[in-house]
Amino acid sequence: MKKLYTLAIFAVLAGVSILFYSFNLKKGNTGLAAVINVDGGRISGVKSTTSDVVSFKGIPFAAPPIGGLRWKAPQPVEHWAGIKKCDAFGPSPMQSKPVPFGVYTKEFLIPEQPISEDCLYLNIWAKNNQNNKKPVFVWIYGGGFTSGGTAVPIYDGEAMAKKGIIFVSVNYRVGVFGFLAHPDLTKESPYKASGNYALLDQIAALNWVKKNIEKFGGDPGNVTIAGQSAGSMSVNCLMASPAAKGLFNKAIAESGSLLISNPMIKSLTLHDAEEQGVRLEAALHVNSIDELRKIPAADLMKAPARYSPVVDGYVLPEPVSQIFAEGKENSVPLLTGWNADEGFVFGFKKKDAFQQEAKEKYGKDAADFLKYYPANTDEEAVHSQTKLSRDLIFAISGYKWADIQSQTKAPVYVYYFQHKLPATPEFEKYGAFHTGEVAYAMDNLKFLNRPWKLADKILAKEISAYWVNFITNGNPNGKNLPAWPKYNKSAARVIAFDNIALEKQLPDKDELEFMLKHVEK
């Protein structure tokens, strides 16, 4: 009896303790609560052993998109009993097994397991102190819309949270699970569209942040969305989407937009995307969406197709380029840029073949083309093809975005990352490669196995300080940092990140202007 009495007293005290923590959190009288009540139930986090940051990993923000919810907009999160320990990342979205390639070692990839369709989880890192109304940073990963996840090592949020922001990273569906459109999916949808489940996942996560982030000390009115590569393209789509209006007030976009069609990522019309879905149905020998929903995930991924955002009439009522051209976007301060060596070339042409192709493709402008992308030797032709690839896939779309943004009331700040990461001989040729800036921007060099020098660590402190300043107040400038001017097309002043941060005119401006005019034709 005495033992039962003691247990009862303990239970009452525990309940009072939880109420006390929750009350104090709401009143702003203490740091993070031991237990926080969010949509779905109560959660607990993990205090860092090396700092005053608390992390909450694997928080569900929507119902698992499995079974009958495959290819549906994210549904409200399912409630759970008791206290959910948020001490590990949720599963990464369904995709092929991550395998290192080229310069992309395991630090750039999600862990091999767990990978699942049940993937709609987010993570939060927050400093455990009395300061409420912290600025919020929401990270959207890249991966070509076919891979990626929040558990990538270099996306860890502790270093940025130590600088006084709330760091949030969100999972979203990729590939066939994130972008399949089909006439029957369109018919069953309450908004009469299909194909943009990945973007709807991101919007659902932003809605969750708006409703819940105050409980972690964050300011729901001061939210910066950010992403790299396909994550940057997602940021571009969210700025264009009326469904995301009011969910953020600043944006950071690293290497990517959909303002210019590029060789790797192209938006489809709803009609074309639906036809692709019909072809998938035929290839898998089924006759209905219900049957498609029963096919194992691994079998769905075997059918070759390229998936990306869809001009569905709802999430994207018009092409992104048209929305921006008409000034209908969610106009907010923007920080954007690209890297010097981030082209992707699969099979190089020798100088003669490259010169001949230039004459055939650019006609009377071929001489100008070869001035910007010379090919007097085979080695020079290889370099020019890498540069051309960078421009077509990333740089001219970023250049176009900066130009459009500079003509609005919202400022834009442009960077050019040209710092060659220190590397062993096998990686030296990659230079300032695609994604190379992320570890610097997040001050996460420790998660990347490279022979870092003091200059790298100083550069990481500088870049992450610029990012934190922008996240805080929409302006990257701050104490002890080189001045970063607002961008305008005529002056084209940017911050170049090399061994140091340096304000200068945008490198390659003339070639970008040349290529932009040709692509827009």
Query: Any idea which residues carry the catalytic annotation?
Result: 229, 342, 434
| Cβ-contact 490, 400 below 8 angstroms | no
| Cβ-contact 208, 60 below 8 angstroms | no
Q: Is 57 exposed, middle or buried (0-12, 13-18, 19+ CB in 10 A)?
A: buried
| Cβ-contact 74, 201 below 8 angstroms | yes
Helices (H) and strands (E) in the chain — how many of each?
Answer: 17, 16
The Cα-based distances of 21 to 44, 183, 305, 508 in angstroms read 12, 50, 50, 55
CA–CA distance, 282 with 275 (Å, rounded to integer): 11
Tokens of 14: 């525990």
CA–CA distance, 204 with 214 (Å, rounded to integer): 17
User: Residues for the chain: how many in total?
Assistant: 521
Hey, is 107 helix, strand or coil?
A: helix
Q: Is 22 exposed, middle or buried (0-12, 13-18, 19+ CB in 10 A)?
A: middle
Please enumerate in sequence order all residues whose Cβ is within 8 A of that of 256, keeping only pairs 6 or more positions apart, or say none. 142, 227, 228, 229, 230, 231, 232, 233, 236, 265, 394, 397, 398
Q: Computed from CA positions of residues 212, 214, 219, 220, in that sequence, does the dihedral angle turn out positive or negative?
A: positive
CA–CA distance, 83 with 88 (Å, rounded to integer): 14
Beta strands 41-44 and 36-38 are antiparallel
